[in-house]
């Protein structure tokens, strides 16, 4: 059972993470060539960039989206020129989703802006450890969401 102090600490952590994400996103204006994405589109693109050739079912499971919502999101990403859906080769999985060269360029631009936004923290010790720990927290949050389904 979580104590009140632990519950408050976890809520504080979540608030810091969401606020930091919004603060970093505000830096996107520094590069007008960045294709802006909704939170759902961002989640889908993160998965597709790391897992080219993923099926819509795989994407939906990872990002926690219902299939109809994912289909609408993929349609919007196709309209923006960031993904292509095609028939899987050889394995008969049906449709697969791949990022486009435009998506790769958008991600390159985003990562440059994100890096600049977080650069003031470069002198802080343990950035690699913090990144690793936050990634582990994300995995636990996703696993918890999957356990609730």
Cα→Cα distances 29→23, 33, 79, 110, Å:
12, 9, 22, 11
Domain that holds residue 81: 4-148
Instruction: Please state, in angstroms and rounded to a whole number, the distance separating the CA atoms of residues 25 and 110.
Output: 9
Confidence of residue 144 (pLDDT cuts 50, 70, 90): confident
Looking at the structure of the chain, the number of domains it has is 1
Residue 92 has pLDDT above 60, yes or no: no
List the CATH number of the domain containing 8. 1.10.10.10
Is pTM, for the whole model, over 0.85? no
């Amino acid at each position: 059972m979580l104590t009140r102090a632990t519950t408050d600490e976890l809520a504080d952590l979540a608030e810091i993470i969401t606020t930091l994400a919004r603060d970093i996103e505000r830096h996107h204006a520094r590069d007008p060539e960045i294709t802006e994405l909704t939170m759902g589109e961002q989640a889908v693109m993160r998965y597709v960039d790391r897992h080219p050739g993923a099926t819509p079912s795989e994407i939906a499971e990872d990002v926690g989206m219902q299939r109809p919502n994912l289909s609408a999101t993929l349609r919007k990403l196709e309209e923006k020129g960031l993904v292509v859906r095609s028939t899987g080769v050889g394995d008969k999985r049906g449709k697969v989703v791949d990022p486009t060269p435009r998506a790769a360029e958008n991600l390159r631009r985003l990562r440059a802006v994100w890096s600049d936004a977080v650069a003031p923290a470069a002198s802080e010790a343990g950035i690699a450890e913090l990144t690793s720990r936050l990634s582990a927290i994300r995995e636990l949050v996703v696993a918890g969401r999957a356990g609730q389904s």
